[in-house]
Amino acid sequence: MKPLRVGNASGFYGDRFDAMAELLGGGELDVLTGDYLAELTMLILGRDRLKDPSLGYAKTFVRQLETSLGTALDNGVRIVTNAGGLNPAGLAAAVRALADRLGLQVNVAHVEGDDLRERASELGLGSALAANAYLGAWGIAQCLRSGADVVVTGRVTDASLVVGPAAAHFGWARTDWDTLAGAVVAGHVIECGPQATGGNYAFFTEIADLTRPGFPIAEVHADGTAVITKHPGTGGAVSIGTVTAQLLYEIGGARYAGPDVTARFDTVQLAQDGPDRVRIDGVRGEPPPPVLKVGLNALGGFRNEVTFVLTGLDIEAKAALVQRQLAGLDANWTLARTDHADADSQEAASALLHCVVRGPDPKAIGRAFSGAAIELALASYPGFHVTAPPGDATPYGVFTSAYVDAALVPHVAVLADGTRIDIAPAENTLALQGVPESPAGTPVAGPTRRVPLGTIAGARSGDKGGSANVGVWVRTDEAYRWLAASLTVAEFQRLLPETATLPVTRHALPNLRAVNFVVEGILGAGVAFNARHDPQAKALGEWLRSRLVDVPEALLAPEQGPARRVRLQGGQQ
């Protein structure tokens, strides 16, 4: 059978608006997906639903369809999206109303059952603004097999948007572990849109044209293998490097668990298959765990912040004075030494002292807090000023995750005519276990040169609730021998002192020439908690790459250093 061409037009709620039209008009496509949900998005949608119970879905999706739905129907492209968020039935109704206004005949189905908010206490989940289980692909597959042109879901795993169409198209069984796992890997690569085509790529200066990267396409085959590509003429590049980077994004160990299958990321094999084409094969799968992950979003209270600008000399003494003067506050203080000695501009001579307060009373940490900070203007350090005027307190969210027996979570495909089809949980399950690391081998011998880690290694990092992951990869087998032997947990924590007191776990992925680090608790109670200035840990990997390490000269080209660059032409590495 011909491969199923699945293109993803959205990596988050707020991604490039015209990507849907671009994918539909740029070349051959069978299925168009859109991933709109993230932990923070669920909190945003939860607050929308509090204001108006008819909301709770990604409104952008409807606006995108206004100019694209007719094109999709004319070209036989089916649309699958999780933009339903907390209200998939509401979004399905909005799509039908849009089709009526446009004079189009469209079959819209949706998947529901993930919303557990009303049952949170019963299931031991406590009280939450949003409580959503991560459903799998089989509800989507049922909707497509029943003739749906558009399938709207709530909270499903991101990869399910690819697995469902592939399973429906090829007729896979629920125990086809390897084919399902292959589709999970393909779905994981394209779920974040242009991150697979050069966006946020560590070696971005190697890509000839990154002004407007294209959105990715997965050509999924009947055996579960896939080719990652993009439409001809679009920007960016698809290379082993860009695909490796995305494979390492927001993962844990070698076993990547989902509701339908556990994919073994340590079996993934990548090969360049031509310009802007990377083949994924060799993926092995295992039965899924018997439990489903549940994302819990709650309002944690209120927060406020002030940033003091400290200029010139005695930066640390100035910071200490402010902290003494506001000592009565329950605050988190961070001093960013952005100042430079003998600076040729005032901004370059300045450091930033961030003060964040949280609490249950918006008045106490609103104007009362910011007012107290501003009252220091004539009574504190020389050169006193702040980056913004006093503000009111704003609510913040807290994300936690829990696990419930999959049999306790409904999974329902609701067809266009209202027919409801229950989707049974997986019958064959296997509790998730870690994968022990194999011996790292002997380090590369010979003289070394002290250079930034990023001279030889790429990295990608991201958030997983209150934790973060940092995947690090290199491009040759010899470099991987050095990386696996040298970048231990202890060395990682030495290079990133902010992780030194936190639990850190390393997972080796030799097929990808990569190691992945999971740092627990570095993001506090999740992205909406804003525990650090990079609340989603997106730049944690780039910080790591900037740190100096001793690299064997045998791994470095004679002229190689921080400034050396090799350009990618046509996606070749």
User: What local confidence, expressed as pLDDT, does residue 328 receive?
Assistant: 82
pLDDT-derived band of residue 533, with 50, 70 and 90 as boundaries? confident
Q: What is the pLDDT of residues 128-175, one digit of tens each?
A: 899 999 999 999 999 999 999 999 999 999 999 999 999 999 999 999
Crossing angle (nearest 10°) for helices 138-145 and 160-170: 50
- pLDDT at position 559 over 90: no
567 lies in a domain?
Answer: no
HSE, side-chain direction, 13 A CA sphere, residue 326? 30
User: Based on the domain organization, do 180 and 231 belong to the same domain?
Assistant: yes
| Residue ranges making up the domain that contains 11 | 4-295+404-422
User: Based on the domain organization, do 38 and 137 belong to the same domain?
Assistant: yes
54 lies in a domain?
Answer: yes
270 lies in a domain?
Answer: yes
- pLDDT at position 543 over 60: yes
User: What local confidence, expressed as pLDDT, does residue 439 receive?
Assistant: 66
pLDDT-derived band of residue 558, with 50, 70 and 90 as boundaries? low
240 lies in a domain?
Answer: yes
Select from 82, 33, 93 the least CA-distant residue to 58: 82
pLDDT-derived band of residue 443, with 50, 70 and 90 as boundaries? confident
User: Based on the domain organization, do 132 and 221 belong to the same domain?
Assistant: yes
Integer angstrom CA distances of residue 267 from 284, 554, 567: 6, 28, 29
Q: How many CB atoms lie within 10 A of CB 127?
A: 11
Select from 50, 126, 62, 130 the least CA-distant residue to 100: 62
Integer angstrom CA distances of residue 344 from 50, 316, 341, 350, 353: 51, 21, 9, 11, 21
User: What local confidence, expressed as pLDDT, does residue 565 receive?
Assistant: 37
Beta carbons within 8 Å of 548's beta carbon, 6+ residues apart: 450, 451, 452, 453
Determine which of 144-148, 242-246, 368-372 has the lowest per-residue pLDDT on average: 368-372
- SS3 string of 462-511? EEECCEEEEEEECCCHHHHHHHHHHCCHHHHHHHCHHHCCCCEEEEEEHH
**For range 224-228, the mean pLDDT:** 98
User: Based on the domain organization, do 216 and 313 belong to the same domain?
Assistant: no
**For range 17-25, the mean pLDDT:** 97
pLDDT-derived band of residue 85, with 50, 70 and 90 as boundaries? very high
Integer angstrom CA distances of residue 282 from 174, 263, 279: 19, 11, 10
Q: What's the distance, CA 266 to chain centroid? A: 20
pLDDT-derived band of residue 80, with 50, 70 and 90 as boundaries? very high
Which tokens go with 344?
Answer: 């040729």
**Residue 368's domain is classified under what CATH number?**
3.30.70
**For range 26-46, the mean pLDDT:** 93
Q: How far is 491 from 497, CA to CA, in rounded Å? A: 10
pLDDT-derived band of residue 35, with 50, 70 and 90 as boundaries? very high
Look at the alpha carbons of 267, 271, 273, 277 in this order and tell me if their dihedral is positive or negative: positive
Looking at residue 164, what DSSP letter applies? H
User: Based on the domain organization, do 133 and 229 belong to the same domain?
Assistant: yes
- pLDDT at position 266 over 50: yes
User: Based on the domain organization, do 329 and 382 belong to the same domain?
Assistant: yes
3-state secondary structure of 249: coil
3-state secondary structure of 104: coil
317 lies in a domain?
Answer: yes
pLDDT-derived band of residue 440, with 50, 70 and 90 as boundaries? low
Q: Are strands 150-153 and 108-112 parallel, antiparallel or unpaired?
A: parallel
- pLDDT at position 564 over 60: no
Beta carbons within 8 Å of 484's beta carbon, 6+ residues apart: 440, 441, 508, 510, 515
Integer angstrom CA distances of residue 297 from 50, 88, 350: 13, 18, 37
Q: How far is 453 from 116, CA to CA, in rounded Å? A: 44
Q: Both ends of the chain: CA-CA distance in Å?
A: 30
* Mean pLDDT taken over the chain: 93
434 lies in a domain?
Answer: no
What's the pTM value of the predicted model, to 2 decimals? 0.92
User: Based on the domain organization, do 223 and 247 belong to the same domain?
Assistant: yes
Question: CA angle, 556 as apex, 459 and 537 as ends, to 5°?
Answer: 15
Number of domains in the chain: 3
Cβ atoms 474, 456 nearer than 8 A: yes
User: Based on the domain organization, do 111 and 182 belong to the same domain?
Assistant: yes
pLDDT-derived band of residue 390, with 50, 70 and 90 as boundaries? confident
**For range 506-530, the mean pLDDT:** 91
User: What local confidence, expressed as pLDDT, does residue 465 receive?
Assistant: 87
442 lies in a domain?
Answer: no
User: What local confidence, expressed as pLDDT, does residue 438 receive?
Assistant: 73
Q: What is the pLDDT of residues 461-511, one digit of tens each?
A: 999 889 999 999 999 999 999 999 999 999 999 999 999 999 999 999 999
118 lies in a domain?
Answer: yes
**For range 337-360, the mean pLDDT:** 95
User: What local confidence, expressed as pLDDT, does residue 195 receive?
Assistant: 97
User: Based on the domain organization, do 94 and 118 belong to the same domain?
Assistant: yes
Question: CA angle, 158 as apex, 237 and 296 as ends, to 5°?
Answer: 135
User: Based on the domain organization, do 67 and 211 belong to the same domain?
Assistant: yes
User: Based on the domain organization, do 98 and 208 belong to the same domain?
Assistant: yes
Q: How far is 572 from 566, CA to CA, in rounded Å? A: 11
User: Based on the domain organization, do 287 and 311 belong to the same domain?
Assistant: no
- Torsion angle of alpha carbons 122, 124, 126, 128, nearest 10°? -70
Which tokens go with 145?
Answer: 């097999």
Crossing angle (nearest 10°) for helices 240-247 and 177-190: 100
Q: How far is 287 from 35, CA to CA, in rounded Å? A: 25
**For range 21-49, the mean pLDDT:** 94
Which tokens go with 292?
Answer: 């489903």
